[in-house]
């Protein structure tokens, strides 16, 4: 037998040097006895669940949740009188500018948006929604609203309270990003 070879595990016993003991969370954390005790864990799981729910609702539209969010954000910014640029959309979505740029490029390939240089600054890419993009939003918004109603229905009367708590966290996050 070669010396660098690990000994085979014996049935029911382990070499004491190789034995691994899981962390006893009850001794490590006074606050979190299980993952569901941690709001961060819950938020992470719920955020991914929400994205899966939206992606399912959007299957027939050939849009992803991210593409819908970027398209909708561009429409919203234009509606409130703010000329949407890639950078402004990234800031509004609180997302990485490169990811937004890639997403806008995909929306452009789908002919849902157009990009053009800003006449005052060629580094800035202005984004406008095409007629096809407007029609897509009109088709998709009811699907998203239905997904929203289904996903948040278990909250019942608590929905406004949860919404206010999420708004508080959202505004705090945006303040932290500016600092």
**Cα–Cα distance between 44 and 34 in angstroms, integer?**
15
Q: Where are the beta strands (DSSP E) in the chain?
A: 113-118, 121-129
pTM of the model as a whole:
0.77
- What residue spans define the domains of the chain? 61-150
* Of 76, 88, 81, nearest in space to 134 by CA: 76
Q: pLDDT band at 18, cuts 50/70/90? A: low
Q: So what's the architecture of 61-150 in CATH? A: Orthogonal Bundle (1.10)
Model pLDDT for residues 50-59, shown as the tens digit of each residue: 999 999 999 9
Task: Return the exposure string of 126-147: e unless at least 16 CB atoms fall within 10 Å of the residue's CB, then b.
Answer: bbebeeebeebbeebeebbeeb
Residue 101 reports pLDDT greater than 60:
yes
Most confident of the ranges 79-83, 144-148, 166-170:
144-148
Q: What are phi and psi of 6, to 5 degrees?
A: -75, 140
- Per-residue pLDDT band at 36 (split at 50, 70, 90): confident
The pLDDT, as a whole number, for residue 17 is 60
Q: Are 134 and 93 in contact (CB under 8 A)?
A: no
Closest CA to 96 of 70, 64, 122: 70
5 — pLDDT class (breaks 50, 70, 90): low
Pairing status of strand 113-118 against strand 121-129? antiparallel
Query: What average pLDDT does this structure show over 111-125?
Result: 91
Residue 129 has pLDDT above 60, yes or no: yes
The answer, yes or no, to whether residue 107 has pLDDT greater than 60, is yes
């Amino acid at each position: 037998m070669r010396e660098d070879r690990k000994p085979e595990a014996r049935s029911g016993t382990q070499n004491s040097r190789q034995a691994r003991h899981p962390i006893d969370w009850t001794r490590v954390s006074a606050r979190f006895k299980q993952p569901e005790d941690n709001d961060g864990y819950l938020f992470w799981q719920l955020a991914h669940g929400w994205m899966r729910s939206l992606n399912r609702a959007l299957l027939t539209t050939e849009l992803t949740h991210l593409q819908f969010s970027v398209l909708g954000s561009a429409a919203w910014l234009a509606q409130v009188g703010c000329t949407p640029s890639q950078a402004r959309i990234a800031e509004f979505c609180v997302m990485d500018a490169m990811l937004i740029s890639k997403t806008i490029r995909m929306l452009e390939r789908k002919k849902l948006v157009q990009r053009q240089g800003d006449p005052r600054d060629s580094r800035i890419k202005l984004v406008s929604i095409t007629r096809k993009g407007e029609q897509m939003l009109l088709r998709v918004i009811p699907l998203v609203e239905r997904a929203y109603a289904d996903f948040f229905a278990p909250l019942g009367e608590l929905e406004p309270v949860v919404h206010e708590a999420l708004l508080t966290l959202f505004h705090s996050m945006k303040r932290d990003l500016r600092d």
